[in-house]
Amino acid sequence: MDTTHRRVLAAPDKFRGTLTAPEVVTAVAAAADRAGWQVTGQPMADGGEGILDAFGGANRRSRVTGPAGRPVEAAWRLDEESGLAVVESAAASGLAIAGGRERNDPMTATSAGTGELIAEAVLAEARRVVVGLGGSAMTDGGLGTVEAVLERLDGARPADRGVELLAACDVQTVFTDAARVFGPQKGAGPAQIEELTRRLEALQRDYRQRFGTDLAGLAGGGAAGGLGGGLLVLGGSLVPGLDLVADQVGLEDQLAQADLVVTGEGALDAESFHGKVVGGVVARARARQLPVLVLAGTVLPDAPASELAQLAVVDLTATFGERSSWERTAACVEQAVADHLAALA
């Protein structure tokens, strides 16, 4: 194949625990450059951690209330020209900040810091605020966020100031199921899950009475421990994360210029093809009849065979060994891309 002016679009998710999405892009680009291909790099995310990277990375830091109530430094982004602000709940209210499930207190963890970031973005004259839901420590139903926003905006919601609030969400969990579905990963035991569920049920009634927002049965309201519901109370909208990111970064325009697409994530499984980065990128590339190379730290047994059969997939663990795939992930990605491009030559 003549690679003159051939273009690779690198549009991966993060490889959790080893590489950020921009680092994956860098490794793909290194191999493509050597093979004579041009490269377009577009880190992707589906609404959780990594959404900041998809929009170009953080350019601001603010001191806010962390999940345990102590101050933390949280990174966020504001594009002053477009008025777009991007906030990750994980950066202000994240489980990692709380010390993981082992050290997190699921009963007291708060989303206040996320609300403080939202309010700061509004006060900085953002016209649209995107909030990535994922990696959170709390199951407070977004109450900390609601209270922080109203306090800092003198009782106003972002919409009252003409600001659009969008929550990037990749789950369908309803508000009162947040503790049952996500509590265990945040360190909550059975009795705590029951108590948290009762709190969410009471808060759902309170939200309806105070704000006129009925969260009952609304898909996504339980995202990030109920923060999804809290953002709805603030007049926000829940949007499928991958679709939101793809639209905002102009993924379709980038695909129109590509001859090959490279995507991937740390663990490829059944969920990868349901609202996640890999499935979304593959579907969009397939609609344009573009070939796709999928890189995965590991391919899990439940990954759909029907999907894998239609794709070029490299399992880094199976190909390079478990130790190399974990300790030298970037080098494995680079080699996998180099081998694939060589086979096309």
Q: Could you tell me what percent of the chain has a pLDDT over 70?
A: 99
The strand pairing partners of 130, in sequence order, are: 86, 166
Positive or negative, the CA dihedral 233, 237, 241, 244 is negative
Query: Is residue 219 within 8 Å of 172, Cβ to Cβ?
Result: yes
Query: Is residue 240 within 8 Å of 271, Cβ to Cβ?
Result: no
Buried b (16+ CB within 10 A) or exposed e, 52-80: bbbbeebeeebebbbbbeeebebbbbbee
Lowest mean pLDDT among 43-57, 76-90, 128-142, 153-167: 43-57
Query: Is residue 21 within 8 Å of 50, Cβ to Cβ?
Result: yes
Residue 168's alpha-carbon distances to 23, 130, 151, 282, in angstroms, are: 22, 7, 24, 20
Q: Which amino acid, one-letter code, is at 83?
A: G
Nearest to 138 by CA among 198, 226, 239: 226
Q: What is the pLDDT of residues 254-281, one digit of tens each?
A: 999 999 999 999 999 999 998 899 999 9
pTM given for the model: 0.91
Nearest to 113 by CA among 136, 79, 130, 134: 136
DSSP class of residue 302 equals T
Distance between CA atoms of residues 188 and 149, nearest Å: 27
What local confidence, expressed as pLDDT, does residue 134 receive?
Answer: 87
Task: Quote the mean pLDDT of the chain.
Answer: 95
Q: What is the pLDDT of residues 184-217, one digit of tens each?
A: 999 999 999 999 999 999 999 999 999 999 999 9
Q: Which two tokens stand for residue 97?
A: 């900040």
Q: What is the pLDDT of residues 158-186, one digit of tens each?
A: 999 999 999 998 889 999 999 999 999 99
Q: Which amino acid, one-letter code, is at 120?
A: E
Query: Is residue 238 within 8 Å of 153, Cβ to Cβ?
Result: no
Lowest mean pLDDT among 47-51, 145-149, 159-163, 236-240: 47-51
Query: Is residue 62 within 8 Å of 124, Cβ to Cβ?
Result: no
1, pLDDT greater than 50: no
Residue whose tokens read 């880190």: 43
4, pLDDT greater than 70: no
316, pLDDT greater than 60: yes
Nearest to 222 by CA among 257, 158, 270, 171: 171
Positive or negative, the CA dihedral 263, 268, 270, 276 is negative
- Strand ranges inside 99-245, DSSP E: 128-132, 164-169, 237-240
5 Ramachandran zone, left/alpha/beta (phi>0; psi -120 to 50): left
Average pLDDT over residues 73-93: 96
What local confidence, expressed as pLDDT, does residue 230 receive?
Answer: 98
Residue whose tokens read 């009762």: 198
Report the relative pairing of strands 164-169 and 128-132 from DSSP bridges.
parallel
Q: Which amino acid, one-letter code, is at 112?
A: A
Q: Which two tokens stand for residue 236?
A: 């926000």
The strand pairing partners of 237, in sequence order, are: 166
Average pLDDT over residues 16-21: 93
Distance between CA atoms of residues 129 and 231, nearest Å: 11
Average pLDDT over residues 86-114: 96
Query: Domains plus CATH for the chain?
Result: 7-43+259-344 (3.40.50.10350), 51-243 (3.90.1510.10)
Q: What is the pLDDT of residues 32-70, one digit of tens each?
A: 999 999 999 999 999 878 999 999 999 999 999 999 999
